[in-house]
Amino acid sequence: MSGLLEEEEVRPMRPDGFRFNLGSNAALQTLAASVAAQQAELRASLMATIAPALQQVNLAYKPVMPALTTSDLIRHASAALEPARVLSAWSPKITVPKFTMPTITVPTGMFDVLRGFDWDAFERRIRVPRNWPTAYEQYLPDLVSMVNDEGIPVAWVPRWELLETLLGAPDATARSLLLVKHRAEILHDCEIALDDVSDPSLMPFMSTVRELLSASRYGLWKVAAISAVAITHSIVERLEWVSARQQVKKHHALQESVTLAEVMERATRGPLVLFYDDWNPKSRRPRPTHLTRHVVSHRFGPEQVAERNCVVAVMLLTSLMVTVDQLELISPDESTGSSG
């Protein structure tokens, strides 16, 4: 029996894999008694210190010392070391999650490609309306004049070839004739641009917008224009943009000093300067012949639904809706507001 004890190793009593030979029964009993006394003293000290904290914390525990069951002698040792085993049950087990970092492989030459990328051109392409050339500055003075003075929308529609033709026309009358002459192409451009609109805030308008586009295709431009005026004003109110005649120029006019970051919104706002012009017969001002929301709603006359104005109304609605969609100008939780 003693020979067996001298050759047999007891399973580790520490979790780090340390192993040792217990020697003889007497030695084991002495060791067990010593460990039990030390563990009892340690347990009493620890319990006095940590018991209040343990009552407040729900931790997982596991024994540090496994049961020793390889022989009768080891079972006696296990009984002798019972105080230590009990104490081990109070040893907290803290599990730290394992996070595996993903392996990111960058293709050879990727950083060279990124360094050589034309970021300025990329920014221009995403900030400038799609129907404008990226180098729009040379056209900006003429765009400012046409937008502010004639109320012709230029953001998103019409296509660049037609917009360039409008900019090259000798005067406002020539541009009006061009708008009517090319209204089928302009309508097509409006339909294509509006197909991409997906902003939830604009969805309540889309059914009516599709109907007014359909009306235009069948030649009912006057019906389409009056509907477009109403929807445009509703969206401006939702945006809480200024609509009072005395303030629209300050808030909406397109300027040659416009920055790249502002150009899309300012190009869209520009036609609102004339759109929110008002008129009263007592003012002795000539009755406006350009499209105005106030006159359509309160002083309606046939000049407000002239062919040129009908095309402008559908263009303006398209330009506004696409910009609102692109720039996400309306928050989902915004309530309908009024700007007067």
DSSP string, 159-182: -HHHHHHHHHSSSHHHHHHHHHHT
**pTM above threshold 0.95:** no
Q: Which range among 118-122, 279-283, 315-319 shows the weakest confidence by mean pLDDT? A: 118-122
The mean pLDDT value for 239-249 works out to: 90
Task: Tell me what pLDDT residue 122 has.
Answer: 81
Contacts of 244 (CB under 8 A, 6+ apart): 276, 339, 340
Tokens 């022989």 -> residue? 71
Q: Which range among 26-30, 282-286, 288-292 shows the weakest confidence by mean pLDDT? A: 26-30
Task: Tell me what pLDDT residue 123 has.
Answer: 84
- Interval 90-144: pLDDT, tens: 545 555 565 566 676 666 666 666 666 677 788 888 899 999 999 999 999 999 9
Return the structure tokens found at 109. 């030459």
- Interval 175-211: pLDDT, tens: 999 999 999 999 999 999 999 999 999 999 999 999 9
What does pLDDT average to over the chain?
Answer: 79
- Bond preceding residue 133 cis, omega within 30 of 0: no
Please report how the helices 203-217 and 183-195 are oriented relative to each other, as an axis angle in degrees rounded to 10.
160
Task: Tell me what pLDDT residue 316 has.
Answer: 98
Q: Which range among 38-47, 81-90, 298-307 shows the weakest confidence by mean pLDDT? A: 81-90
Q: Which range among 14-28, 86-100, 127-141, 244-258 shows the weakest confidence by mean pLDDT? A: 14-28
Are the C-beta atoms of 244 and 339 separated by less than 8 Å? yes
Task: Tell me what pLDDT residue 57 has.
Answer: 45
Whole-number percent of the chain with pLDDT over 70: 64
Return the structure tokens found at 104. 């990111």
Cα angle 135, 241, 306 (rounded to 5 degrees) comes to 75
The mean pLDDT value for 143-165 works out to: 97
Confidence of residue 283 (pLDDT cuts 50, 70, 90): confident
Are the C-beta atoms of 213 and 314 separated by less than 8 Å? yes
**Strand partners for 93:** 60
**Strand partners for 20:** 10
Q: Report DSSP state, residue 23.
A: -
pLDDT at 4 over 70: no
Q: Report DSSP state, residue 138.
A: G
Confidence of residue 334 (pLDDT cuts 50, 70, 90): low
pLDDT at 280 over 90: no
DSSP letter for each residue of 74-130: HHHHHHHTHHHHHHHTTSEE-PPPP--PPP--PPTTHHHHHHHS-HHHHHHHHHS-T
Task: Tell me what pLDDT residue 228 has.
Answer: 98
Task: Tell me what pLDDT residue 281 has.
Answer: 84
CA quadruple 125, 130, 136, 140: dihedral sign:
negative
The mean pLDDT value for 168-177 works out to: 98
pLDDT at 10 over 70: no
